[in-house]
A = this chain, B = another copy of it.
Amino acid sequence: MDSRTDTRQRLIDSARDLIYARSYSDVGVQEICNRAGVRKGSFYHFFPSKRDLTLSVLDQLQAFFRHDILGRAFATDIPPLQRISRFFEYAGDFQQQMQQLTGQMPGCPFGNLASEMSTQDEGIRLKVKQIMRDAEVPFEQALAEAVANGDLPEIDTAATARALFAYVEGIMVYAKAHNDPDMVRELGKRALQLVVPERLA
């Protein structure tokens, strides 16, 4: 049981690192196995296909994102709107760490897979879509709390949270193309402007 979970987990970790650093199509099953120290035959004992492994990778990435990024950013030790700003700081920190480790800015693993795979694999698209929807929740909760506090007028918190997370994804693509993690923080400073409803013609 121990070696079972261990081999399986090493395959997930290996695939996560390789696919996040490059892309789904560019990484082969053999290479994933090499990095995990697993023979290819064993791979197919644990996963029916490369695609299914990728779905497991997404599950674990979502768990990490939820607990270590969203959870920390949206902790209730500061006022709700400041939590949104803190999320962009943490996202920038994370990208900066990745760049120091690898020399590259990998961007958002979910956005990357959405861009590459949405037209090719409906299962992956739906999983990424659900991850994005779940990511909206803490944004919406923070907005609702700000409305309750009187920090914000009555707004459509769901639609606003969605716009905020779409902006997150765009910042990641933009910063990745520029290979510049500082852009995450710089562009993130404007995020709160998306919060207040239409004021311009």
Interface residues of A (CB under 8 A from B): 21-26, 79, 81-82, 102, 104-107, 110-112, 114-120, 125, 128-129, 132, 151, 159-160, 162-163, 165-174, 176-179, 186-187, 189-190, 192-201
Give, as a whole number of angstroms, the nearest-CB distance from A155 to chain B.
11
A112 B104 Cβ-Cβ under 8 A: no
User: A177 to chain B: closest CB distance in Å?
Assistant: 4
Complex interface: chain B residues within 8 A of A189 (CB): 198
The 8 Å CB contact of A174, one of B25, B26, B105, B165, is B165
**A118 to chain B: closest CB distance in Å?**
5
Complex Cα spacing A201 to B192, Å: 9
In the bound complex, residues from chain B placing their C-beta under 8 Å from that of A81 are 200-201
Give 7 A-B pairs besides A193-B193, A193-B198 with Cβ atoms closer than 8 angstroms: A24-B25, A26-B120, A81-B201, A115-B176, A151-B200, A162-B174, A166-B170
**Known A81-B201, A166-B167, A198-B193: A132·B174 in contact at CB below 8 Å:** yes
Chain A binding surface SS class: helix
Q: Is the CB of B125 within 8 A of A179?
A: yes
Distance in Å from the Cβ of A189 to the closest Cβ of chain B? 8
Residues of chain B within 8 A of A25, CB atoms compared: 23-26
Copies of this chain present: 2
Contact with A198, one of B82, B178, B179, B192 (Cβ below 8 angstroms): B192
- Residue of B with least CB distance to A84: B200
- Given A120-B22, A198-B192, the answer on whether A173 and B166 have CB atoms closer than 8 Å is yes
CB distance from A193 to the nearest CB of B (A): 5
Instruction: Report the minimal beta-carbon distance from A31 to chain B, rounded to whole angstroms.
Output: 13
> A105 contacts which chain B residues (CB < 8 A)?
118-119
Q: Are B115 and A111 in contact, with the CB atoms below 8 A? A: yes
